Chains A and B, each alone.
Chain A
Amino acid sequence: MTDIATPAAGRRLSPTFVIGLVLVGLNVAVALTTLVWTPYDPTAMTGGRLAPPSLLHLAGTDRLGRDLFTEIMIGARIALTVGIGAVAIAALIGVSLGLIAAFASRTLDDILVATLDILIAFPTLLLAMLIVAASDGASLGTAILAIGVAASAIVARLTRILARRVLAMDYVTAARVAGTSWIGIVRIHVLPNIWPTLIVNLALQFGLAVIAEASLSYLGLGAPPPNASWGRLLQEAQGTVYTAPFGAVAPGLALLSLVIGLNLTADGLRDIADPTRRTRT
């Protein structure tokens, strides 16, 4: 194996970063596979009910005799869909709000910051619950929207802090004096300086969004059946945990692999974005 060098750090990628990328890649591959092929029809009753894992059914079957491994594979697709959608929304709203707050007058900034602080004091899940409740009926779309909106407060606060730091620089003052519009300042000076840190945070938010989606589905507020969300699989398995304990384990392991992968990827990205932190871990 030759050295994998990054242009930024000029040294080998850390093993944990590689593990993270592999785990995320595995989940993406499984999710893409389900678009064209699954071992069984996800809604077909393919075997005995609550069968233990076997060669035919790698993760056993659920209470209706559906193949659990197929459902877990589809769960990866749902988790990734919600995660990507939610992070995109959080980035869009969060970065815009954060930039507005950074440029705003003192009063508007104070109001925005106070609102954000309160929203952040609530766990993402609780906010998402309220938003789901506020919309009519739970669906994949509402789950994405709810988690994205709930996560945007954290992104907004981070963006504001990062942007303010850039705005205090002399070269920004120089640009202002030279007559650059604030949109120009954002494009030329602010965004290029803050995006590495933002990307790291968004990767972490991705993991949190996957957990939030599972929790929403667990509470019955996520994507409705037949969407085999990991959270819903676990909720169903909890009812049959006395007869089929494996069903309560397997979907969680799948979820763990994705979130751990995302967290490790975020850590790796941070090391690349900010080499001074490398010594800490």
Chain B
Amino acid sequence: MLIAIAVLFVLLRLLPGDPANALVSVGADAAQIEAARRQVGSDLPLAEQFVRFVAALARFDLGASFVSGVPVIEEIGRRLTVTLPLTLLAFVSAIALALPLGILAAVKRRRWYGGLISIASQLGIAVPVFWIGILLVTLFAVQLRLVPSSGFPARGWLDPLAALRQLALPVLTIALVMAASLIRYVRSASLDVIGSDYLRTARALGSGYREALVRHGIRNGAVPVISILGIELASTLLGAVVVERVFALPGLGSMLLIGIEQRDYPNVQGVLFISTLIVLLVGFAADIAQRLVDPRLRDHAIGGRT
């Protein structure tokens, strides 16, 4: 975690331009710039800036935006109400799509629809998320006029139906892209199970094909899939930047993008810190889930060097 913070800090300090520039107006004299530098602390040595940064993080104090003066943690909280539902809804829909389709693609790999699923997922991983978004807008918002093309209701979740309507296309966009890559993993994990000795043994002992697959296959196939799920969830959360731009959603990603454009360090730092935290938590949760599913992982010493 400390390394994560250090890497973030270094990355952010690589941004050229003094953060104090955001505070002063164009044409400010040297004294005003000096005062601004003192105010944001960028006149201090880097090491001291780092220590202050870590100390503030420990108190969950992420500072206030240079541009608007709003406390960063408050702004993040508000924007998470868009990004979290978006990511989680998309995540659940992607799993709902990918599990049955992936298993089907493996079991029926010699039928035409098994092959079709594989081809579709190949196509899905070969396109950028934003193009899928644009295509969906073209189809559902422009041609069919079913849902709005972009934006988020000003009243937010106080108007839940309108909010859900706005989120429909972004959720579908992320879900499709995510499902495409998940299907490949689910398919490959299922193929491993299908080719395994224990499944053959179970069938030799008289289980039907379906019964053997359900009783022995799911638990074994789930282990590698869970670790992929963790990575996917984390990258979706961070990858929301692009989708939020496509649909003009006021989420965490657009906060990051605007923060970068305006050199608003506290905002950028805050977003990256919170996302890193979530990424690490998700990874941790995936580890625990894996051990619950597979008792063998519990007995082994974890952390062996590869």
Chain A residues within 8 Å of B, Cβ to Cβ: 111, 114-115, 118-119, 121-123, 125-126, 129-131, 133-136, 161, 164, 207, 211, 214-215, 218-219, 231, 234, 237-238, 241-242, 245, 248-249, 252, 255-256, 259-260, 263-264, 280
Chain B 118-154 interface residues, beta-carbon cutoff 8 Å to A? 122-123, 125-131, 134-135, 137-138, 142-143, 149
The answer for the CA separation of A43 and B143 in the assembled complex, in Å, is 30
Most chain A CB within a 10 A radius of its CB, from B126, B245, B261, B280: B126
Establish whether residues B3 and A115, one from each chain, have CB atoms under 8 Å apart when the complex forms: yes
Establish whether residues B3 and A125, one from each chain, have CB atoms under 8 Å apart when the complex forms: no
Q: Shortest beta-carbon distance, B20 to chain A, in Å? A: 17
Establish whether residues A211 and B127, one from each chain, have CB atoms under 8 Å apart when the complex forms: yes
Q: Chain B residues near A219 (CB, 8 Å)?
A: 241-242, 245, 257
Q: Shortest beta-carbon distance, B147 to chain A, in Å? A: 14
CB pairs A–B below 8 angstroms (18 shown): A115-B7, A118-B3, A118-B4, A121-B276, A214-B130, A215-B128, A218-B128, A218-B130, A219-B241, A238-B134, A245-B138, A245-B142, A252-B135, A255-B127, A256-B126, A260-B122, A264-B122, A280-B191
Q: Chain B residues near A214 (CB, 8 Å)?
A: 128, 130-131
The answer for the CA separation of A115 and B149 in the assembled complex, in Å, is 40
A242 interface neighbour in B122, B135, B142, B276, Cβ under 8 Å: B142
The answer for the CA separation of A161 and B306 in the assembled complex, in Å, is 7
Establish whether residues B126 and A134, one from each chain, have CB atoms under 8 Å apart when the complex forms: no
Decide yes or no whether B266 CB sits under 8 A from chain A. no
A136 interface neighbour in B16, B137, B235, Cβ under 8 Å: B16
How many chain-B residues does the 8 Å CB contact rule pick out?
A: 44
The answer for the CA separation of A136 and B239 in the assembled complex, in Å, is 24
B131 interface neighbour in A126, A131, A255, Cβ under 8 Å: A255
B11 interface neighbour in A130, A161, A241, A249, Cβ under 8 Å: A130
Q: Chain A residues near B137 (CB, 8 Å)?
A: 238, 241
The answer for the CA separation of A241 and B124 in the assembled complex, in Å, is 22
Chain B 252-279 interface residues, beta-carbon cutoff 8 Å to A? 256-257, 260-261, 276, 279
Residue ID in chain B nearest A214 by CB atoms: B128
A238 interface neighbour in B3, B126, B246, Cβ under 8 Å: B246
Q: Shortest beta-carbon distance, A83 to chain B, in Å? A: 13
Establish whether residues A263 and B127, one from each chain, have CB atoms under 8 Å apart when the complex forms: no
Establish whether residues B138 and A248, one from each chain, have CB atoms under 8 Å apart when the complex forms: yes
Q: Chain B residues near A129 (CB, 8 Å)?
A: 241, 256-257, 260
Establish whether residues A215 and B130, one from each chain, have CB atoms under 8 Å apart when the complex forms: yes
B7 interface neighbour in A118, A125, A255, Cβ under 8 Å: A118
Q: Chain B residues near A118 (CB, 8 Å)?
A: 3-4, 7, 276
The answer for the CA separation of A125 and B149 in the assembled complex, in Å, is 24
Q: Chain A residues near B11 (CB, 8 Å)?
A: 130, 134
The answer for the CA separation of A61 and B142 in the assembled complex, in Å, is 19
How does the 8 Å CB contact mask read for B187-217 relative to A, with 1 for contact and 0 for none?
0100100000000000000000000000000
How does the 8 Å CB contact mask read for B11-51 relative to A, with 1 for contact and 0 for none?
11011100000000000000000000000000000000000
Q: Shortest beta-carbon distance, A248 to chain B, in Å? A: 5
With A134-B16, A245-B138, A252-B134 as contacts: A121 and B279 at CB distance below 8 Å? yes
Q: Chain B residues near A207 (CB, 8 Å)?
A: 126
The answer for the CA separation of A249 and B279 in the assembled complex, in Å, is 34
Most chain A CB within a 10 A radius of its CB, from B3, B7, B12, B130: B130
Q: Shortest beta-carbon distance, A204 to chain B, in Å? A: 10
A248 interface neighbour in B7, B134, B245, Cβ under 8 Å: B134
Q: Chain A residues near B102 (CB, 8 Å)?
A: none
